[in-house]
């Protein structure tokens, strides 16, 4: 089969681009510790208010010094807000939704999960730098989606 010289160049250029694009995805995913969700837990969204954990979502310190934050996302806010947590300690976020699918992204970190009615999303993160972080909802959830923000306040650990 005879392939024109210029066509050959463009074929290899196209292959090269594919390799570069896929490589970019792999490298950024690895360097930013991106990984798919691995926690599977269901919950009845209709009885959230009576749920011992999510009926009163809050930041709870565990006996071992770690921190668990239960979060309910609901049009168009997060509860609790603000979320006050200590720096340099593992913080486990447990997130669910009371209505539709929302996003829970802590801007500037790799904390990013979906809040899905009927499910609890969970991840653990340690904040090294005290300060204020913005929480954004990154799933379109209704007319005021763009106003759905929250705040994480990371405080210097006092221990």
Rule CB under 6 A: which residues touch ligand CUA? 76, 102, 137, 139-141, 145, 148
Pick 53 or 105: Cβ nearer ligand CUA: 105
Pick 51 or 77: Cβ nearer ligand CUA: 77
CA atoms within 13 A on the CB side of 80: 16
Nearest to 103 by CA among 71, 58, 59: 71
Pick 67 or 83: Cβ nearer ligand CUA: 83
Smallest distance from the beta carbon of 52 to ligand CUA, in angstroms? 24
| CA-based torsion, 10, 11, 16, 17: positive or negative | positive
Pick 53 or 139: Cβ nearer ligand CUA: 139
Smallest distance from the beta carbon of 131 to ligand CUA, in angstroms? 24
Pick 21 or 140: Cβ nearer ligand CUA: 140
Question: Phi and psi at residue 63, in whole multiples of 5°?
Answer: -55, -30
Nearest to 150 by CA among 104, 109, 111: 104
Smallest distance from the beta carbon of 85 to ligand CUA, in angstroms? 21
Strands 90-97 and 67-74: parallel
Nearest to 61 by CA among 92, 106, 30: 92
Smallest distance from the beta carbon of 144 to ligand CUA, in angstroms? 8
Smallest distance from the beta carbon of 128 to ligand CUA, in angstroms? 28
């Amino acid at each position: 089969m005879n392939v024109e010289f210029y066509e050959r160049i463009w074929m290899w250029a196209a292959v090269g681009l594919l390799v570069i694009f896929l490589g970019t995805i792999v490298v950024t995913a690895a360097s930013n510790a991106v990984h798919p969700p691995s926690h599977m837990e269901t919950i009845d969204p209709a009885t959230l208010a009576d749920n011992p954990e999510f009926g009163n979502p809050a930041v709870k310190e565990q006996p071992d010094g770690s921190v668990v934050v239960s979060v309910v996302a609901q049009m168009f806010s997060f509860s609790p807000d603000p979320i006050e947590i200590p720096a340099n300690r593992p913080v486990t976020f447990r997130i669910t939704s009371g209505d539709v699918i929302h996003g829970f992204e802590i801007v500037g970190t790799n904390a990013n999960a979906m809040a899905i009615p009927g499910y609890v999303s969970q991840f653990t993160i340690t904040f090294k730098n005290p300060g204020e972080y913005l929480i954004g909802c990154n799933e379109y959830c209704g007319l005021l989606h763009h106003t759905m923000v929250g705040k994480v306040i990371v405080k210097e650990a006092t221990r």
